[in-house]
Structures are given as C-alpha cells and as structure tokens.
C-alpha cells in the first residue's frame, strides 16, 4: 500500500463525490455497458483509493455474467497519483475481494492509449478486436418468414428463455446475464424474437443512439444458424427503422467472427474503419489452505 493511502468499498452514498471526481479526472476508463459506471455502485468489487479521506482513484469490476469481470470503471486523479500506481494498489485488492473458488476472467475494452498501455504492462493479453459496421438506408431484398415461424416483439416474460439462448449462442465472455438482458430490453428502441413451435430460436435488441440506432444484440440458437434466420431479423429491423425515418443503423462484432461479418455485409452494412481491442486476464481459483490433522 502507498504511504498515507487507504482503500475502502464504494457505497451509494459516494454517488455525488464520484460524479464530481470522474468529471474532474484526467484519466477515466468507462466500460460500454447497459449500466453507467455509477449504476454499478452497490455491486462488488467497487473500490476507492483515498488519501486523507479524499478520493484519488476508483476501480470497479463486478462480475456479470458469472465468472466474467469487465473493468467497469478505472479513474485516477493523476495530479496526485499516477494511473500505474493506482492500479498497483487497487487491482490486487479487487482480486482478493472476489476470493473465487472458481476461475475469474477480467476483461477490458481498450478505448484509450494510456489504458491499453496499462493493461499490457500488467499482463492483460490481447484477446480480439471489435469492429464497427453501419447500414445507411438501402434496403436489401425482402425475406419472407417461413410458415410456422412467428416474428413478434420481445416481452419481459421472454427473458428467461432468451438468456438460455444467449448462453448457447455466445462464448462466455460475451454472454449476458438475466439482469443485463432486462436492462437491455428496458433501453430498447426495438426488440424482437423469432419463434418456432412455441420456442424462441432467435432474438435481436436495438437501442437508440444520437446518430440513429444500434443493433446491440443478435443471436440465433446454434441448431438454426446458417439458415438465414439472422438475416430475417436484420431485414425486419431495417424495414422497421426505415419506415420511421432512421437512415443509420450501427452494429459491432468481433473481427474474427466471419459468419457475423458475412451476414452484415450481405444485409448492406459496411465497415467504418473504427475498431477497438479487447484484453483479458485470467485469475485461477484460489485453493483453500490444507487443514492440518493430528
């Protein structure tokens, strides 16, 4: 621990102080999430490094979904303490706070050079890149929904089944918890499910942005992939937003997800050239100390 510094848990009572601190700090990493960085107050670990009871740095990375701890917030008042010093003080405490009996993967989006340098210097590995695509209003050929399938709006009552589908369709790093999907649906501009014989086989959730709409989530049950199911959902949302006057839809996907890239290109999306790296750091489970017997 740095001399004269202490670490404590952040609480909801810190909301105003943290709002001011984040706004005044030079080095701020905020995860792109359904929650804002301050919405995570009350979840753990969310730690404050302070000196003389004045906040100097904050690190928050509550696991969600299970086993995945994204860096939700890392913020440093660099006029007094440098980012590397703050990280060296806070990150070991975060690991201790989790005390896992199971593996934990920490993950972070590399949105700024200073944060990327910090991650790589602290043994975070480059996992993959996220690329951005956009569609600008030219509708692809219409796709009819096959007989027996029903495309309808998503309801809150669908979310338990949607979460199961989500877990089957995505690697653990990209899965959503039920809580996360609930937040996503609450923020949605348009969300739909495709059903076959009373079973949800695909879904999409799109959210509003200042420039148009973002296709935040698209998933197809593995047994129904490569059957144009995703294309049906994308074509439907393109028509839906086109009728409402939106001429820009964006989407992110992994640079190594060739199936996803092919789908979006087929539906008229193009790469913008924007991308950002994803870094991961795996922490093995902490084994309990052996019990001595006489």
For residue 290, the model assigns a pLDDT of 44
Say if residues 212 and 248 touch (Cβ distance below 8 Å).
yes
Mark which of 123, 157, 192 sits at the end of a domain: 123
C-alpha–C-alpha distance, residues 209 and 249, integer Å: 9
Q: How many domains does the chain have?
A: 2
Cα–Cα separations (whole angstroms), residue 115 to 14, 75, 119, 224: 24, 10, 6, 39
Could you tell me the pLDDT band of residue 254, with boundaries at 50, 70 and 90? Answer: very high
Could you tell me the pLDDT band of residue 78, with boundaries at 50, 70 and 90? Answer: confident
Supply the range of the domain harboring residue 216. 132-274
Could you tell me the pLDDT band of residue 1, with boundaries at 50, 70 and 90? Answer: low
Q: Please indicate, yes or no, if residue 282 is contained in any of the structural domains.
A: no
Which CATH number does the domain housing residue 235 bear?
3.40.630.30
Neighbours of 50 (CB within 10 A): 16
C-alpha–C-alpha distance, residues 278 and 110, integer Å: 6
Q: Please indicate, yes or no, if residue 240 is contained in any of the structural domains.
A: yes
Angle between helices 159-169 and 178-187 (to 10 degrees): 110
For residue 285, the model assigns a pLDDT of 61
For residue 156, the model assigns a pLDDT of 98
- Which pLDDT tens digit goes with each residue over 15-38? 999 999 999 999 999 999 999 999
Q: Is the pLDDT of residue 291 over 60?
A: no
Three-state SS annotation for 4-65: CEEEEECCHHHHHHHHHHHHHCCEEEECCCCCCHHHHCCCCCEEEEEECCEEEEEEECCCCC
User: Is 0.85 surpassed by the pTM of this model?
Assistant: yes
Q: Please indicate, yes or no, if residue 279 is contained in any of the structural domains.
A: no
Q: Is the pLDDT of residue 201 over 80?
A: yes
CA atoms within 13 A on the CB side of 117: 6
| 260 and 177 within one domain | yes
| 23 and 119 within one domain | yes
**DSSP element (H, E) containing 81:** none
Token code pair at residue 223: 């047994």
């Amino acid at each position: 621990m740095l001399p004269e510094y202490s670490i404590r848990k952040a609480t909801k009572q810190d909301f105003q102080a943290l709002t001011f601190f984040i706004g005044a700090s030079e080095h701020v990493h905020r995860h792109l999430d359904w929650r804002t960085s301050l919405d995570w107050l009350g979840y753990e670990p969310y730690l404050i490094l302070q000196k003389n009871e004045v906040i100097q740095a904050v690190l928050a990375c509550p696991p969600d979904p299970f086993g995945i701890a994204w860096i939700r917030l890392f913020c440093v008042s660099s006029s007094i303490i440098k980012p590397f010093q703050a990280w060296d003080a806070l990150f070991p405490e975060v690991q201790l706070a989790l005390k896992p009996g199971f593996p934990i993967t920490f993950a972070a989006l590399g949105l700024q050079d200073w944060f990327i340098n910090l991650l790589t210097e602290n043994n975070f590995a480059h996992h993959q890149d996220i690329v951005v695509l956009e569609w600008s209003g030219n509708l692809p050929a219409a796709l009819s929904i096959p007989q027996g399938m029903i495309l309808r709006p998503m309801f809150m009552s669908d979310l338990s089944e949607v979460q199961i589908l989500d877990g089957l369709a995505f690697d653990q790093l990209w899965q959503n918890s039920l809580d996360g999907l609930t937040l996503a649906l609450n923020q949605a501009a348009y969300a739909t499910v495709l059903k076959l014989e009373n079973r949800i086989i695909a879904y999409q959730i799109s959210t509003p942005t200042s420039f148009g709409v973002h296709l935040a989530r698209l998933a197809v049950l593995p047994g129904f992939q490569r059957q144009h199911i995703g294309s049906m959902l994308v074509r439907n949302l393109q028509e839906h937003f086109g009728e409402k006057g939106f001429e820009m839809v964006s989407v992110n996907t992994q640079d190594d997800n060739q199936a996803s890239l092919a789908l979006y290109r087929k539906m008229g999306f193009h790469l913008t050239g924007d991308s950002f790296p994803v870094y991961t750091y795996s922490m093995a489970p902490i084994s309990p100390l052996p019990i001595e017997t006489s």
